[in-house]
Amino acid sequence: MENIDKQKAIEDETRRIKENVSRIKHRIAIFSGKGGVGKTTVSVNLAYSLQLEGLETGILDADITGPNVAKMLSIEGDLILLDEKIIPFEKYGLKIISMANLLKSGQPLIWRGPMRSKIINQFLADVKWMDLDFLIADLPPGTGDEILTIGQEMKPDYAIIVTTPQEVSIIDAERAINMAKQLQIPSIGVVENMAGFVCPHCNAVLEIFGSGGGKKMADDYGVQFLGSIPIDIDTRILSDKGKLIVLEKPGCEVTNAFKSIVKLIEEHYINELKEK
Ligand SMILES: Nc1ncnc2c1ncn2[C@@H]1O[C@H](COP(=O)(O)OP(=O)(O)OP(=O)(O)O)[C@@H](O)[C@H]1O
Ligand SMILES: [Mg+2]
């Protein structure tokens, strides 16, 4: 009897995920092999860059044990439940869900993979995303259970692999590209972050982590290169304050880099429509 109930609950959740996900036009998974390369920075700034283009966007923080989306967007408070649905936070029109709002600050979450997957399923099944143009999933580093669950349940139509130009990051990003291929995510793009630093004193470009590695990797794997984002002190300072460079500094180099990434993504979907 208990097994039948369990099976029923799983089937019911699968149905709710399908229904919820079918209302979202495009789903992007952002991941990398290596940690700290800027996945969350890319996720939140890309989400707002899409929102600024008038596209309804949501962001799902799929980093269950190290959720940083809420912090980077300065979102505090508990999640609200209404009629068995979770109401996402909204900031400047963007819909956001993050495990951070279910945890006390500093509280560690020691959960094995299946528990983390369960939470992601619930974020997909029970959050009131409504009709979105884009849902972006910000993933933890590596190729663990979270990306598997997102791949199988959210069914991303685009994978963005974030890398920095240095060799150790590229090697891990190659694993991420292969993971995206295994998960049969139909389109894959590479963003190279922290590519060069413009010295504020002399304007010289210092290639701290090297350069060109992201583009070369994308070419080698036959996937789209979406662009490079330079190392920028304001990007880091603002994100520590829960603010975003694309909203605070329109026209700066980093904001322009995100604009150009959005343009390529939009062109990609337009071309895809033409091919159909
Ligand atoms: N282009 C950039 N210029 C300056 N600082 C940056 C840039 N990109 C990211 N950072 C900073 O680097 C740090 C790590 O970025 P972020 O948290 O986005 O990486 P991540 O890949 O999501 O990390 P994790 O693997 O832990 O999830 C943050 O402090 C962020 O502000
Ligand atoms: Mg992160």
The residue whose CA is least distant from atom 16 of ligand 1 is: 38
Looking at the CA of residue 236, tell me the nearest atom of ligand 1. Answer: 31
Amino acid letter, 82? L
* Average pLDDT per 10 consecutive residues for the chain, totaling 276 residues: 84 95 97 94 98 96 94 90 90 94 81 92 96 97 93 97 92 95 97 89 81 91 96 94 96 95 95 82
What is the chain's alpha carbon radius of gyration, rounded to the nearest angstrom?
18
Distance CA 170, CA 172 (A): 5
DSSP 154-204: I--SEEEEEE-SSHHHHHHHHHHHHHHHHTT-SEEEEEEEEEEEE-TTT-P
The answer for residues whose C-beta is within 8 angstroms of residue 118's C-beta and 6 or more apart is none
Ligand 1 site: residues with CB under 6 angstroms? 32, 35-41, 63, 66, 68, 140-141, 193-194, 229, 231-232, 235-236, 239
Catalogue all structural domains in the chain, each as residue range(s) with its CATH number: 2-275 (3.40.50.300)
